[in-house]
Every structure is written in structure tokens, then in C-alpha cells.
Amino acid sequence: MTRAPNISRQTIAVLAALSSQPQAWRYGYDLSKETGLKSGTLYPLLIRLADQDLLEAEWRQPLTPGRPPRHAYRLTDAGLALARDRLSGAPSAVTSALVPKPAQ
């Protein structure tokens, strides 16, 4: 019998944020603000999820001329299934406690 991999509180927070709009492309900065995770935690986590084929990542051209392209992320079908599986098992009060609150 195989054991499900452990998923950190930070990963659950990112999966929860991404699964709220599963088809939408999200920028790391927006995810950082929503989850309260610092860039040193968030970006390595996003890279690992993309390497595991749980996230799609692509460069998006800026809407404002003169700005650099930005990386955008969204869940793959496998990522959405994992998010639903992990988030459905936790009561909503527990799930909301797992998601860090943005810094004021």
C-alpha cells in the first residue's frame, strides 16, 4: 500500500488559493499577497509543483509597455485533483486555519 505524500501547510495554502479559480492564470505576487507567503517560500514551492506536473507555468507579456514579462501559474488537472482531495478532507475551519493570513 502506498502512502500519500506529506503536503506542507504552505503547499495547502497555495493549492487552496489556486483552486479557488482553477482555470485562471495567477501571478506569484498575487499568490504571495493572498497566502501571506514570502517569496523565498512561495517560488521554490511553485517550481516544485510545476516540476511534479501539478502546475502549468508560462511567461505572460505585460499589459503595460516597458514592463518585463511575468511568470503565471495555474493548476493542471492532476493539481486540481490533488487540491480537491487534500482540501475536501479538512473541515472548512481547519482549511481556513491552514491558509496564512496576509500581513497587515
The 8 Å CB, 24+ separation contacts for 42-50 are 42/10, 42/14, 45/8, 45/10, 45/11, 45/14, 46/14, 46/73, 49/11, 49/14, 49/79
pLDDT (tens digit per residue) in 14-70: 999 999 999 999 999 999 999 999 999 999 999 999 999 999 999 999 888 999 999
pLDDT of residue 88: 84
pLDDT of residue 7: 86
Domain boundaries, the chain: 9-57+70-91
Residue 98 backbone phi and psi in degrees, to 5: -75, -25
Rounded CA-CA distance 55/74 in Å is: 6
Sheet strand arrangement including 55-60: 26-27, 70-75, 55-60
Position 103 pLDDT exceeds 70: no
Position 94 pLDDT exceeds 70: no
pLDDT of residue 74: 96
Position 71 pLDDT exceeds 70: yes
CB 80 within 8 A of CB 58: no
Q: Which three cell numbers stand for residue 28?
A: 506569484
The matching CATH number, chosen from 1.10.3720.10, 3.30.450.40, 1.20.1250.20, 1.10.10.10, for 9-57+70-91 is: 1.10.10.10
